[in-house]
Amino acid sequence: MPLTINSSSQGNSARLKLTGEVDGTTAANFRTEVDRALTSAPAILVLDVEQLTFMSSAGLRVLIFAKQKQPSLTIYVLKPQPPIVDTLRKTGFYDGVYVTETEPETGTAKS
């Protein structure tokens, strides 16, 4: 299933809405979009993954890439499906992001 990424930004917040699957073939697109979103050094990155059905290790590594490129970045993972949450927990990535079911207040940053 292809991956569609819609990007937007508002204030100090960047937002990517992912639809489809992040797998070995589409992870590069995901990373490119994250890279692009970080060029303006936002304080917050919101990943709306409600319509994302699968995220491979390559996709999860993009989250690490974002955190390591900009350590002060707060990442919200919005409405992930249970298998994605499960993988985030087991690999420990869960602790490095905010998983949320509600739209984050993008005016706040992770303490």
> Distance between CA atoms of 12 and 42, rounded to whole angstroms?
5
| Residue of 56, 70, 79, 98 that binds another protein (CB under 8 A) | 56
In the complex, least distance from residue 56 CB atom to another protein, rounded to whole angstroms: 6
Position 67 contacts another protein (CB under 8 A): yes
- Residue with token string 């809405």: 17
End-to-end CA distance of the chain: 37
Nearer to another protein, 67 or 79 (CB): 67
Phi-psi region of 20 (alpha: psi -120 to 50; beta: other; left: phi over 0): left
Nearer to another protein, 41 or 64 (CB): 64
In the complex, least distance from residue 102 CB atom to another protein, rounded to whole angstroms: 24
> Distance between CA atoms of 53 and 97, rounded to whole angstroms?
19
3 state SS of 91: helix
In the complex, least distance from residue 90 CB atom to another protein, rounded to whole angstroms: 4
Residues that bind another protein (CB under 8 A): 24-25, 27-28, 56-58, 60-61, 64-65, 67-68, 86-87, 89-93, 96
